[in-house]
C-alpha cells in the first residue's frame, strides 16, 4: 500500500508524508532526507526495501519539498527533531509490534543522530548515510558571513555535480522542481553554530545499534565526520563502512546496490 498525506506537527505546521507499507512486514524504516532535497528522491529505495519485507515511512522536512515552513529556513534545529518524532510516533502507533529503525542521509543523518541522543529508547537502531555529524571545511566560507545583516540571504544550491558520479542522477537532481535552488544563511548558521557543536558535545550519550556509511570520495561531507562519530559514540553495536570511490549520495551512486544490500543485511540481522 502506498499513500501520501499531510500531518500536523507540534506547532501546527503540516508535513508532507509518504507511507510504503507491505503485508507481514519485518520492520519499519523511517527515512530522513538531506539538505535542499525531499523524500521523493527515495522512491527507488523505498521500493527496494518493500521488496525485502520492510515498510517505509518518509516525509519532507519542514521548509523542504511539499511541507510547510519558510523555504530552507530554520530558527532552531530542535524543530527538525520534533518533526521527526511526530513521524516516529505515527509509525509506532500504526505498527505496535514491529521494530522501528531510522535511516538518515547528510543533514538527515544529523537529524537522525541527534534524534538518537534525544530519544534513546524509541527506536531499534539507526543507519547513517554520508552524515553531517561533525565539523567540516566544506562550509568555511559561510562561517565568515554575517547572519545579523541578512539571515534570509539565499545561498545558491551548487551541490549538483558533487552528489554523485552518475550524470543521470545529477541531471535529475538539477531538474527536480522539489529540490531547492537555495539554502538560507540562517539554516546554515544554525547548523554550523548550534546544531553540529551540540551533537559533538553529546555524542558520548549515543547508544543505539548503528550502521555508519560514507563515501570515501565525498566532496561535500568529509568521511572523517563519520569516522569521528564512530569513535565518539558509546554504542556497543556499531559498524562503520567507507566506500572508497563513492561520492556524497552513496545510495545514488553506480554501486548503490552494494550499499542497499549492506543496509538490508544489517536490518535483517537485527530483526
* Catalytic residue positions, numbered: 106, 218, 248
Joined together, the cell numbers standing for residue 134 give 561533525
Residue whose C-alpha cell reads 510504503 in the numeric block:
20
| CA-to-CA separations, 48 to 38, 45, 88, 261, in angstroms, rounded | 18, 5, 21, 10
| Beta strands 210-215; 238-243: pairing state | parallel
Q: Is the dihedral of CA 184, 170, 176, 85 positive or negative?
A: negative
Query: Is the CB of residue 181 less than 8 Å from the CB of residue 206?
Result: no
Residue whose C-alpha cell reads 561531507 in the numeric block:
221
- Sheet containing 238-243: which strands, arranged edge to edge? 2-8, 14-20, 54-59, 27-32, 100-105, 125-129, 210-215, 238-243
Which residues lie closer than 8 Å to 87 by C-beta, 6 or more apart?
7, 15, 17, 30, 57, 59
Which residues lie closer than 8 Å to 204 by C-beta, 6 or more apart?
232, 233, 234
Q: How far apart are CA 52 and CA 234, in angstroms?
A: 30
Residue whose C-alpha cell reads 537522525 in the numeric block:
112
What angle is formed at CA 101 by the lines to CA 98 and CA 103, rounded to 5 degrees?
150
Amino acid at each position: 500500500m502506498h499513500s501520501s498525506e499531510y500531518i500536523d506537527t507540534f506547532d501546527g505546521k503540516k508535513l508532507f508524508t509518504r507511507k510504503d507499507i507491505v503485508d507481514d512486514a519485518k520492520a519499519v524504516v523511517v527515512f530522513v532526507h538531506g539538505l535542499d532535497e525531499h523524500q521523493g528522491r527515495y522512491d527507488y529505495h523505498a521500493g527496494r526495501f518493500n521488496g525485502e519485507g520492510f515498510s517505509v515511512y518518509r516525509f519532507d522536512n519542514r521548509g523542504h519539498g511539499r511541507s510547510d515552513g519558510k523555504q530552507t529556513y530554520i530558527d532552531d534545529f530542535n524543530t527538525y527533531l520534533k518533526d521527526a518524532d511526530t513521524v516516529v510516533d505515527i509509525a509506532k502507533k500504526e505498527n505496535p509490534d514491529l521494530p522501528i529503525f531510522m535511516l538518515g542521509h547528510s543533514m538527515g543523518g544529523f537529524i537522525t543522530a541527534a534524534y538518537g541522543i534525544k530519544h534513546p529508547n524509541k527506536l531499534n537502531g539507526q543507519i547513517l548515510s554520508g552524515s553531517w555529524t561533525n565539523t567540516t571545511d566544506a562550509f568555511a566560507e559561510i562561517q565568515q558571513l554575517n547572519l545579523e545583516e541578512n539571515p534570509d540571504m539565499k545561498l545558491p544550491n551548487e551541490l549538483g555535480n558533487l552528489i554523485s558520479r552518475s550524470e543521470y542522477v545529477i541531471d535529475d537532481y538539477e531538474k527536480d522542481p522539489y529540490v531547492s535552488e537555495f539554502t538560507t544563511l540562517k539554516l546554515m548558521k544554525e547548523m554550523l553554530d548550534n546544531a553540529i557543536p551540540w551533537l559533538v558535545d553529546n555524542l558520548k550519550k549515543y547508544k543505539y545499534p548503528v550502521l555508519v556509511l560514507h563515501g570515501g570520495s565525498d566532496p561535500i561531507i568529509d568521511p572523517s565526520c563519520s569516522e569521528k562519530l564512530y569513535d565518539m559514540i558509546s554504542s556497543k553495536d556499531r559498524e562503520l563502512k567507507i566506500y572508497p570511490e563513492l561520492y556524497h549520495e552513496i545510495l545514488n551512486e553506480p554501486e548503490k546496490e552494494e550499499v542497499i544490500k549492506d543496509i538490508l543485511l544489517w536490518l535483517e540481522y537485527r530483526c
